[in-house]
Amino acid sequence: MSQTGPYWSGLLLGDLAGMIRLANKALGEATAALLDAADDAAEKATAAEKALHELREEIEDDASAVLPDASPTADPRAIVVGVHVGTDVECLAALTRQMVELAWARQSRQPLPPRLRLPLRGMGNLARTMVGQAGDVLEATEYETIADLLGGMHEMAQRQRLLYEQMLSEACQATPDDIADATLLSCCYERCASHAVSMARHAALFVGSRPTG
């Protein structure tokens, strides 16, 4: 059956939103593996691996959907959004992979100190919220969400600064490895937030002016 422009565009955006949801799930599982109680860290790292595998399969399944299967009447804006958002989702997958590898590497070590886990958890929750909001822009045409995301970047920077203040304080008892891992994790969260903003901005090229009928 031939695909009309509106049908294909709506299908594409729905697929992209689904990939964003999967990316957010994988991000959450990786965060749990790194920051939750150590007694089930291996189980949570395995769950993160599974979520990441689901995301990678979805990315591979949809990799050719943007151009080869597009209807000749497909809205060019949807193609632009598809390429940009697809690239951002791939970056989210790569960042989550870094986090999962870090979770496995820390299996033989003590959990990160509470002084570091608390601000990191805040950064992780914020990153997940922002990625979820990016999906909302695609699914629910929520323009105001983009402004919220820009505010989220400012909050992320503040949280990262507070983390660094904790690490550099004399009261911090973290090992050099802990400090290196916490810094890497904070960078992953900051970059996830940045990709969330990017996805929402590119989605705004199409959201609100989708063809109807």
Residue 46: band (very low, low, confident or very high) from pLDDT cuts 50, 70, 90:
confident
The owner of tokens 């990262």 is 160
| pLDDT for 150 beyond 60 | yes
Please give the angle made by the CA atoms of 187, 79 and 189, to the nearest 5 degrees: 10
| pLDDT for 152 beyond 90 | yes
Residue 213: band (very low, low, confident or very high) from pLDDT cuts 50, 70, 90:
very low
- Residues 183-201 as b/e (b if ≥16 CB within 10 A, e otherwise) read eebbebbbbbbbbbbbbbb
- pLDDT tens readout for residues 52-106: 888 888 877 765 555 545 556 667 777 788 888 889 999 999 999 999 999 999 9
What percentage of the chain reaches a pLDDT higher than 70?
81
Domain ranges across the chain = 5-203
Decide if 197 contacts 153 (C-beta within 8 A).
yes
Give me the mean pLDDT over the 28-42 stretch. 83
Superfamily of domain 5-203: Phosphate transport system protein phou homolog 2; domain 2 (1.20.58.220)
